[in-house]
Structure 1
Amino acid sequence: MESSAVGTELSTMLSQLLDDAEIQGLHRLSGGASRETWRFEADGRPLILQRQRAGDERDMLIEAGVVRAAGRGGAPVPDLLDARRRDDGMAFMVLEAIDGETIARKILRDDEFATARPRLVADFGAALARIHALDVESIPGLLRTDQVEYYTGVLDGLGQPHPVLELVRNWLLDFRPAAGRTSLVHGDFRLGNMIVGPEGLRAVIDWELAHLGDPMEDLGWLCVKAWR
């Protein structure tokens, strides 16, 4: 059990939220740039609490809506039990905890995943097909984000020369193909944001970068060598 006052406060809040369930084993997990992630059990059921951090401009309630829609559409995602906004304006959500591995090095090398590895490309393709087929009108709050324009703004805002990045940006502006249809885009579809078991893909997680855009974005990012 997390011994801090924060842990005690969270346990009380979660018990009230989950119909006076007994909260056990609450502990904070490492990782996560934009949110705190905690694991716990409620009456023996393993669950995850994710809390938006102060300063994060993305609305976690939009992400929660994406997870709900993805689940309804048959994509492999954790069940979402609840999502609300705190008094300080930041949001949180409670999800099913799914066992498995997210670390790319282990998925790609460990014997435990030898059977899963030949299946992952098909699993990822099937998951993306479900995601990209979702009715985007059913997901409120999503914005269409042109990734080249967005990151051009980020690069220009640095106020420092970065010749390699500028060369890549200019190449993309000159040669990128015309955009296809608009769909839901996960935005960070890669190893690290997949929960994998010995049998294959179990869940797609971490939807905070989801937006409307060209579905080829997800395929392109998955193929970047850093994530293989």
Structure 2
Amino acid sequence: MDVALLHLALTRMLGSGGPPENLTRLTGGANMESWSFDRDGSGYVLRRAPGDALMAGRSYGHDVEAALIRLAHARGMRAPDVVGELVDADGLGSGYLMRRVEGTTDPRAILADPPRRLIDDIARELARIHAIPLKQVPDGIPGSDPGAMVEALSARFECYGGDRPVMALALRWLRDHLPAPAEPVLLHGDFRVGNLMVGADGLAAVLDWELAHIGDRHQDLAFGCINSWRFGKIDRPAFGVGQLDALFAAYQRESGVAVEPARFRFWRVYSTLWWGMCCLEMADIWRSGRDRSLERAVIGRRASETEIDLLMLLEEEAPAAERGPVSLPSPAPVRRQGEPSGVELLEALLEWIERDVKPKLSGRDRFQANVALNALGMLRRDGPDAFDRPLSDDLLAGRATLATPGLLARLKRDTLAKLEADQPKYSALAKAREMWS
């Protein structure tokens, strides 16, 4: 970030004043940058895309996003206060400036001891977003159709190889369970822990509105309930905070609309698969050179998280005879004599970063060190892949199903082995071992 250019942009947006102080890039944010700083005694956050490449493929720009956040803030929601927008002449890319809200977005900190009222706060904010009259929504916010959205996922699946059987199974399930049209409402589109600022008293702000669109309210309710966004709290299916019955009851109190379990299930499967596709897209962005950050490549290996989640969601539809236990082969032992093996060299590198490098870092540099440790751990544990294009084609076509003898057991074994290498601490892995072995 060029501090001199930022100072000039702030003068244009806020008037004359001192230079930005305590400029810090916030951790996370694989798609956009967020910079926190102080100016003349007030705190601000600049959300921006430094170049056009990161805005490619988006339905609307930061101008529409900022207008939507302003609308939500004006209607009394826990949305940030947008006080300015970047222009081309600023030389800082595309983005907007907000007053900083105090609290934390750290999922681990939030979910370790969530405020008692957080489930009610979540239900209230979702109900308020869904109640915004569509005639007030800024031009450019797109509509959505479940069938078209599923086919868009299918096209992405094909683009990324079309060879992951569990994803093919989920695509076929979604096609077979498309819900009837629903009352269209404004959706946040990325409403989950990690995009919620939380303080001691509850929800402080709803952030990251870049995926807002018009559609079925159940999509917003289900998105934050997928296991990837519960950050280890697999026993709390409602946003990692509580139970689904409490969420549904609170949402009905706030909105006057009852949650339909079948619709919620459809959107939970859809959202789980959608995030899996996003993980594969991160790898594609890295390969293309649009962004060669390590974080992109590592997120690409999180697709296996979504595959085990999808199997756990869908296996109840398999015949009882196919839902038996499975076992994993024991990993090959590492040779511990003579010259160091590849695994041992990776162990040495992991230990060096953990012991000698990471303690000297802070902020985003420390975050990146953790990303590097994660990547090296994947290499150390790496095993056979679980890709199979012919089986994926058979599942998409309906020639293979969960009733196919032995198929579910194979998918379980392959998915467990893949996740064991990619993310051995992922909460669903322990749960699946408990259920399946």
The two structures have a TM-score, normalised by structure 2, of: 0.48
Most deviating of 22-31 and 75-84: 22-31
User: For 1:89 and 1:107, how far apart are their aligned partners in 2?
Assistant: 32
**Deviation for aligned residue 1:90:** 4.4
Q: Is 1:10 aligned to 2:13, yes or no?
A: no
Task: Tell whether the 8 Å contact from 1:48 to 1:94 is kept in structure 2 after alignment.
Answer: yes
Task: Tell whether the 8 Å contact from 2:150 to 2:171 is kept in structure 1 after alignment.
Answer: yes
Task: Tell whether the 8 Å contact from 2:21 to 2:39 is kept in structure 1 after alignment.
Answer: yes
Task: Tell whether the 8 Å contact from 2:13 to 2:83 is kept in structure 1 after alignment.
Answer: no
2:187 is matched with: 185
Q: Is 1:144 aligned to 2:163, yes or no?
A: no
1:163 is matched with: 165
- Partner of 2:117, secondary structure, is helix
User: For 2:181 and 2:40, how far apart are their aligned partners in 1?
Assistant: 48
- Partner of 1:176, secondary structure, is coil
Residue type matched to 1:97 in 2? Answer: R
2:112 is matched with: 109
- Partner of 2:180, secondary structure, is coil
Q: Which has the higher strand share?
A: 1
Residue type matched to 1:208 in 2? Answer: E
Detail structure 1 runs of 4+ shifted over 6 Å in the superposition: none
Gaps of 5+ in 2: 230-239, 241-437
Greater relative CO, 1 or 2 (CA 8 Å, sep 6+): 1
The two structures have a TM-score, normalised by structure 1, of: 0.88
Task: Tell whether the 8 Å contact from 2:25 to 2:34 is kept in structure 1 after alignment.
Answer: yes
- Partner of 1:37, secondary structure, is strand
**Deviation for aligned residue 1:119:** 1.1
User: For 1:35 and 1:167, how far apart are their aligned partners in 2?
Assistant: 32
**Deviation for aligned residue 1:42:** 2.3
Matching residue within 2, 5, 20 for 2:16: 20
Distance 1:141 1:25, change over 3 A: same
What is the CA deviation profile of residues 9-45 of structure 1, one whole-angstrom value per residue up to 9, with x for unaligned ones? 2123213321012132222222212222111122111
1:92 is matched with: 95
1:29 is matched with: 26
Summarize the alignment of residues 26-65 of structure 1 with structure 2, pairs less than 5 Å apart. Answer: 26-54=23-51, 55=53, 56-57=55-56, 58=58, 59-65=61-67
What is the CA deviation profile of residues 136-183 of structure 1, one whole-angstrom value per residue up to 9, with x for unaligned ones? 222111111343233222112223312111111110111132231111
Identity %: 36
Most deviating of 47-56 and 121-130: 47-56
User: For 1:226 and 1:188, how far apart are their aligned partners in 2?
Assistant: 13
Most deviating of 163-172 and 16-25: 16-25
Residue type matched to 2:49 in 1? Answer: Q
User: For 1:75 and 1:50, how far apart are their aligned partners in 2?
Assistant: 19
Query: What root-mean-square deviation, in Å, do the aligned CA atoms of Structure 1 and Structure 2 show?
Result: 1.9
Q: Is 1:83 aligned to 2:88, yes or no?
A: no
Distance 1:225 1:159, change over 3 A: closer
Which structure has the bigger radius of gyration?
2
**Deviation for aligned residue 1:200:** 0.5
User: For 2:4 and 2:86, how far apart are their aligned partners in 1?
Assistant: 19
User: For 1:149 and 1:72, how far apart are their aligned partners in 2?
Assistant: 36
User: For 2:102 and 2:109, how far apart are their aligned partners in 1?
Assistant: 14
User: For 1:42 and 1:135, how far apart are their aligned partners in 2?
Assistant: 36
Q: Which has the higher helix share?
A: 2
Most deviating of 17-26 and 204-213: 17-26
What is the CA deviation profile of residues 29-69 of structure 1, one whole-angstrom value per residue up to 9, with x for unaligned ones? 22212222111122111011111242122311111111011
Task: Tell whether the 8 Å contact from 2:50 to 2:92 is kept in structure 1 after alignment.
Answer: no
What is the CA deviation profile of residues 95-152 of structure 1, one whole-angstrom value per residue up to 9, with x for unaligned ones? 0101111121111114xx4xx1x21111000000110011222211111134323322
**Deviation for aligned residue 1:89:** 9.9
Task: Tell whether the 8 Å contact from 1:48 to 1:95 is kept in structure 2 after alignment.
Answer: yes
Gaps of 5+ in 1: none
User: For 1:160 and 1:176, how far apart are their aligned partners in 2?
Assistant: 21
User: For 1:140 and 1:73, how far apart are their aligned partners in 2?
Assistant: 18
